[in-house]
């Protein structure tokens, strides 16, 4: 092998090495998305002592209106636990969760209602949650939704009127040509 061929071989080897480093370097520098937990739906998530709260949200028609808390609460302990949810203006509701079981707030015959939502639909409400098993407390930001999406209309607190009419007709425009 002559000197020119060795130079070309060294340059080709360097190019391949740089290419391999750039391909494998992305995984080294950036965090893997599969290792990060996130809320995959409209609600938020929180772990509080033995309770795992998933898809947690409030359905309401307004900031000063009542709101229904929906989502799922899993209890991994061998004791019954009571979750207390404190919202705006002293509003409060409690949910009992049996030992080694779960409670679905959207299927509950005894809904979790806050007397005041504390945030307009489309924003986040500051809520304090606590459980009586290990006496842990957390502050969470919970999304507030209204009946704009039809699947949430059934969860509006009783007597609440939706803010958006599903049969609304567009207003006539003044730019009609004659």
Q: Are the C-beta atoms of residues 121 and 163 closer than 8 Å to each other?
A: yes
Predicted confidence at residue 169, as pLDDT, reads 43
Cα distance between residue 178 and residue 173, in whole Å: 13
Q: Are the C-beta atoms of residues 85 and 95 closer than 8 Å to each other?
A: yes
Predicted confidence at residue 53, as pLDDT, reads 95
Q: Retrieve residue 178's tokens.
A: 């004659």
Closest CA to 51 of 67, 68, 27, 75: 75
Question: 3-state DSSP call for residue 174?
Answer: coil
Average pLDDT for consecutive 10-residue bins of the chain (178 residues)?
78 81 62 65 89 95 94 95 94 95 85 94 96 94 92 84 48 50
Q: Are the C-beta atoms of residues 58 and 142 closer than 8 Å to each other?
A: yes
Tell me whether residue 73 is exposed, middle or buried, using C-beta atoms within 10 angstroms of its C-beta: 0 to 12, 13 to 18, 19 or more: buried
CA atoms within 13 A on the CB side of 101: 10
Alpha carbon distance, N-terminus to C-terminus of the chain: 88
Predicted confidence at residue 166, as pLDDT, reads 42
Predicted confidence at residue 12, as pLDDT, reads 85
Closest CA to 45 of 141, 122, 118, 155: 141
Cα distance between residue 159 and residue 147, in whole Å: 13
Predicted confidence at residue 22, as pLDDT, reads 67
Cα 166 from chain centroid? 25
């Amino acid at each position: 092998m002559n000197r020119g061929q060795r130079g070309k071989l060294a340059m080709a080897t360097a190019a391949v090495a740089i290419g391999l480093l750039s391909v494998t370097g992305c995984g080294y520098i950036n965090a893997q998305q599969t290792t990060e937990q996130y809320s995959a739906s409209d609600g938020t998530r929180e772990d509080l002592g033995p309770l795992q709260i998933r898809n947690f949200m409030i359905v309401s028609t307004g900031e000063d209106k009542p709101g229904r808390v929906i989502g799922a609460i899993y209890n991994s302990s061998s004791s019954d636990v009571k979750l207390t949810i404190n919202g705006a203006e002293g509003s409060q509701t409690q949910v009992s969760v049996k030992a080694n079981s779960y409670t679905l707030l959207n299927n509950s015959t005894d809904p979790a209602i806050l007397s005041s939502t504390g945030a307009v639909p489309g924003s986040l409400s500051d809520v304090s949650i606590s459980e009586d098993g290990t006496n842990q407390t957390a502050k969470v930001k919970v999304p507030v939704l209204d009946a704009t999406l039809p699947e949430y209309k059934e969860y509006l607190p009783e007597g609440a009127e939706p803010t958006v009419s599903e049969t609304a007709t567009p207003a006539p425009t003044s730019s009609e040509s004659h």
